[in-house]
């Protein structure tokens, strides 16, 4: 796992412990409430540079690959 991805993962896992939901981006939309995610935000999510939350429901958005990593651990 690349360091940048691992850092994001650790942050998200910390948030997850605090009770915040993490959902994957599915078909350009929030996996929790299906609110569509603008392309700009999607690219930020894929870059793993910062934690992006859904504007509509407040859940933390991750790309599907990272979401799968969280579930496996
Ligand atoms: Zn949402």
Distance 7 CA to ligand 1 centre (A): 23
Question: How would you label 36-57 residue by residue, b for 16+ Cβ within 10 Å and e otherwise?
Answer: ebeeebbebbeebeebbbbeee
Q: In sequence order, what are the beta bridge partners of 30? A: 25
DSSP state of 59: P
| Structural domain boundaries in the chain | 3-72
* Contact in structure between 55 and 73 (CB atoms under 8 Å): no
Return all residues near 16 (Cβ < 8 A) that are at least 6 apart: 22, 70
Q: How many whole angstroms from 2 Cα to the centroid of ligand 1?
A: 27
Q: How many angstroms does the Cα of residue 51 sit away from the middle of ligand 1?
A: 14
- How far, in Å, is the centroid of ligand 1 from the Cα of 6? 23
Taking only the tens place, the pLDDT of each residue in 12-45 is: 666 656 666 889 999 999 999 999 999 999 999 9
For residues 57 and 19, the model is more confident at 57
Confidence of residue 70 (pLDDT cuts 50, 70, 90): low
- Please give the pLDDT value at position 10: 72
């Amino acid at each position: 796992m690349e360091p940048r991805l691992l850092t994001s993962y650790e942050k998200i896992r910390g948030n997850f412990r605090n009770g915040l939901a993490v959902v994957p981006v599915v078909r350009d939309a929030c996996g929790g409430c299906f609110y569509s995610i603008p392309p700009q935000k999607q690219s930020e999510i894929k870059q793993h540079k910062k934690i992006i939350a859904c504007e509509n429901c407040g859940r933390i958005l991750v790309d599907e690959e990272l979401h799968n990593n969280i579930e496996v651990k």
